[in-house]
A and B are shown apart, each in its own frame.
Chain A
Amino acid sequence: MSAHCERVERFADGELSPDEAEGFRQHLLDCSRCQAELGNLLQLKMMASRHVERQPSGVQALPPRRSFPRWSTAAAVGFAFAAVLAVVLFLRVRTPRADPWLASEPERRLEMRMAIAAVDHHRPLTARKMGQDSPQGAKLPLEALTVLEREGDTGGMAAAFLARNDKNLADQAQTYLEPLPSTPENETLRAVALLVKGAPEEALRHLDRALEQNPTLPQALWNKGLALRDLGLQETAALSFHAVAQQGEPGWAEEARQRAEALHAAEQARIQRWQAIMNAGQELAAHGTPPSAAILAERSPILRRFFYEAVRTRTSREQVQALLPLARELDPRTGGGVLARYVERIAARDFTLRAPLVQAYTQLLQGTLPPERVQALIAELLRSPEDDLLMGALVHTQAVAGHLDAFEARAKASEDPWFQLIAFQERAKAQLSRAQEQEALQTIQSAHAICTSTPTEYPCEVVHLELAQIEGKLMRLDEAWEHAKQGWQQARAMNDRDQEPVALDLLARLAELRNNAPLARAYAAEGIYRRSSDR
């Protein structure tokens, strides 16, 4: 490395003096490191330039629009007329029989917000669950609706349907919203209808359209927080509510702050639970210490991974047998008593022969086995009956591909779907490295078939993601999307912080390939948030 190497960035940016630049060019031909670095820098610059081109130019220059009610066609006639109309409607709201938006009720039924001033004053959210409408509230104020219709307030009519938080009425609201122009307020209403119907992905598309036109519209930001939350993207959902809180609207700011905090806290709690399980797992693997009752109560499938390691690294029959109660505890998760049988099988081994191999295997795990002895250990295990140690060693040294047949034979003999699934995954990996995507797809599909008949949570989650990965490569985007979502949901359900980011990145790419940029942004943002806050 020479002094020139430090100038690569200034060179790429054309910021060196002519002499320095010439010196660098001479150096460049002889420095492969700088050649690679210059290539990377130029790619980064290209992506940066594409990034700024995509930015809506002058978004920042636009004055923030007031979220003034848009009385649809009336607004076009002129401000004066719209104002008069607003007063008229306001007066009507005051009369108790004409409250089309339930604005006079002390609690609001709708979690979402609508960008219509007469509707959008803060009231606490009712504890009543959706669909449990009191019969009297379910009645639509037909009289008030007729007035709105006569005045051409289509958006207001849609809001009246939506305010009741009822899936069936949301359809009707959508019919009213359909012909309306794409204003931030109308797009926000469209998103509310979709959220009421439980379609956060589509809702996001409309919210992004609203926010493109008005990046600070609080109702759109609020609803975006809800959509992200419904997709399981808690941290970015919290950020969205945080942005609402900063606008300081009476009532809303406080609720937004509470929501942001709750979402963030829930995600932090998940991280802590996962940490606790990983720590307990490592204790189990290293010392055979059974996890505490509190950890077992989490029923985390991740523990099973450590359980295998615990059995493999015990050096006596008694130590292995001591793991039997734990095996029985973990077994019901997959059924069939696989782990108990495994413990009994290993306890029956001749430990005078097994113990030395166990010791070498433990060294391998701890990274203290001299590298030159690794191959000898694998060769010895291949000749021995200690199938479990062999499989463990091959996985650890990433050498399964070189001994695929041996691995598959032992996985099959183990009658444990866990190892059969790993065998399939490894075969698919080998096929992918030879660019045999079709063959890899078939292999992973066989693994997937096992997952549908014998659910084995942890490896099946990975199988879903790998299936999605390969289908994505083959541009089978719909299938890939479904499997990636299943993988994500399983990872969330298991609180598997290792696989969650993999799923997020995959979903972001697939959403983009499916031409859904808002959704792609949402998944990408959650993934990036995690990476930037992990450090």
Chain B
Amino acid sequence: MTVSSSTDVAMAQRLEALLARHRGWLLHQARCLCRNPADAEDLVQEAMVRFLAAFGQVAQLPDESVCATWLVTTLTNCFYDQLRRQRTRERGASELGQQERSVDPEPPAPALYDRISDEQFSSAVQALSPVARSTFELHARGRKYKEIAEALGIREGTVAKRLHDARSKLRKLLEPLVQLGDT
């Protein structure tokens, strides 16, 4: 008994540490998506509650990158739910029937094996041109288009274009890997 409760405690600590690590990044994304900071806070809160509901009872936490993928998927779904609730509220009670809709079943976490590995992602980034890569990495560090434009001495439109091209190229390089797992 004591053994299981001590593993429970250790597990709870791991979960807490994991969520603490990701909270800042998730909040940054949520602020990009939501109408106001309060909505963004709600969104992250809900994603974390769902995460705990799914992983709070499991014996072993999956790999960090699997957890991250799962959190992002959940955040996205929660965001769509939030949008739907807002629309329902704004359009009045006529669509009240939808309000109590049950929470969507969560998508299964992608199998450990079927994802893009950290190493493959980094290799793909190395394959970008130096210009594309530096723009992409600055943005990944949380800089806004404007800040990047100033740092590199280019126009904001150019930043958007470079970022778009970098992402398209990465997806082209990585797509075969996503499909590989299904064969």
Residues of A within 8 A of B145 (CB): 13, 15
Q: Considering the chains assembled together, what is the distance between the CA atoms of A527 and B163 in angstroms?
A: 23
Contacts A12-B32, A51-B140 known; A29 to B80 CB distance under 8 Å? yes
Produce 1/0 per residue, B111-123, CB < 8 A to A.
1110011111111
Q: Considering the chains assembled together, what is the distance between the CA atoms of A26 and B35 in angstroms?
A: 11
Q: Considering the chains assembled together, what is the distance between the CA atoms of A79 and B120 in angstroms?
A: 42
**Would you call B25 and A47 a contact (CB within 8 A)?**
no
Produce 1/0 per residue, A1-26, CB < 8 A to B.
00000000111111100000110011
Q: Does B75 contact A (CB under 8 A)?
A: yes
Contacts A14-B31, A51-B118 known; A29 to B87 CB distance under 8 Å? yes
B residues near A (Cβ < 8 Å) are 25, 29, 31-33, 35, 65, 68-69, 71-73, 75-76, 80, 83-84, 87, 111-113, 116-127, 136-137, 139-142, 144-145, 160, 163-164, 167, 170-173, 176-177, 180, 183
Contacts A508-B117, A532-B127 known; A44 to B167 CB distance under 8 Å? yes
Considering only CB atoms, which chain B residue lies closest to A526 in the complex? Answer: B123
**Would you call B140 and A48 a contact (CB within 8 A)?**
yes
**Would you call A473 and B124 a contact (CB within 8 A)?**
no
Nearest CB in chain A: distance from B73 CB, A = 7
Q: Considering the chains assembled together, what is the distance between the CA atoms of A263 and B154 in angstroms?
A: 39
Stretch at the interface among A35-43, A214-222, A265-273, A308-316: A35-43
Residues of A within 8 A of B180 (CB): 502, 505-506
**Would you call A48 and B32 a contact (CB within 8 A)?**
no
In which size bucket is the chain A interface? 35 or more
Residues of B within 8 A of A469 (CB): 183
Chain B at the A interface: SS class: helix
Q: Does A283 contact B (CB under 8 A)?
A: no
Residues 41-84 of A contacting B (Cβ, < 8 Å): 41-52, 54-55
Sample of 13 A–B contacts (CB below 8 Å): A10-B160, A14-B33, A49-B140, A50-B68, A51-B118, A51-B122, A52-B140, A505-B180, A509-B117, A511-B119, A521-B123, A528-B127, A528-B173
Q: Does A525 contact B (CB under 8 A)?
A: yes
Contacts A28-B83, A39-B73, A509-B113 known; A50 to B183 CB distance under 8 Å? no
**Would you call B140 and A531 a contact (CB within 8 A)?**
no
- Please tell me which one of the listed residues A13, A39, A502 contacts residue B139 in the complex, with CB atoms under 8 A apart: A13
- Please tell me which one of the listed residues B83, B122, B125 contacts residue A29 in the complex, with CB atoms under 8 A apart: B83
Residues of B within 8 A of A52 (CB): 137, 140-141
Contacts A9-B160, A15-B145 known; A29 to B126 CB distance under 8 Å? no
Q: Considering the chains assembled together, what is the distance between the CA atoms of A9 and B161 in angstroms?
A: 10
Residues of A within 8 A of B164 (CB): 9
Q: Considering the chains assembled together, what is the distance between the CA atoms of A47 and B84 in angstroms?
A: 28
Residues of A within 8 A of B35 (CB): 21-22, 25
Residues of A within 8 A of B116 (CB): 47
A residues near B (Cβ < 8 Å) are 9-15, 21-22, 25-26, 28-29, 35, 38-52, 54-55, 429, 469, 472-473, 501-502, 505-506, 508-509, 511-513, 517, 520-521, 524-525, 527-529, 531-532
Contacts A25-B35, A42-B29, A46-B72 known; A54 to B118 CB distance under 8 Å? yes
Q: Considering the chains assembled together, what is the distance between the CA atoms of A454 and B167 in angstroms?
A: 47
Nearest CB in chain A: distance from B41 CB, A = 15
Considering only CB atoms, which chain B residue lies closest to A519 in the complex? Answer: B119
Residues of B within 8 A of A9 (CB): 160, 163-164, 167
Considering only CB atoms, which chain B residue lies closest to A429 in the complex? Answer: B183
Q: Considering the chains assembled together, what is the distance between the CA atoms of A49 and B127 in angstroms?
A: 17
Q: Considering the chains assembled together, what is the distance between the CA atoms of A472 and B171 in angstroms?
A: 24
**Would you call A521 and B122 a contact (CB within 8 A)?**
yes
- Please tell me which one of the listed residues B126, B140, B167, B173 contacts residue A41 in the complex, with CB atoms under 8 A apart: B167
Besides A15-B144, A506-B180, 20 new A-B residue pairs in contact (Cβ under 8 A), listed by A number: A21-B35, A35-B80, A43-B69, A43-B72, A44-B167, A46-B71, A49-B140, A50-B121, A469-B183, A473-B111, A508-B120, A520-B117, A524-B119, A525-B126, A527-B123, A528-B120, A528-B127, A529-B127, A531-B172, A532-B127
Residues of B within 8 A of A531 (CB): 127, 172-173, 176
Nearest CB in chain B: distance from A195 CB, A = 22
Nearest CB in chain B: distance from A255 CB, A = 25
Q: Considering the chains assembled together, what is the distance between the CA atoms of A429 and B183 in angstroms?
A: 7
**Would you call B173 and A532 a contact (CB within 8 A)?**
yes
Q: Considering the chains assembled together, what is the distance between the CA atoms of A18 and B130 in angstroms?
A: 33
Residues of A within 8 A of B123 (CB): 521, 524-525, 527-528
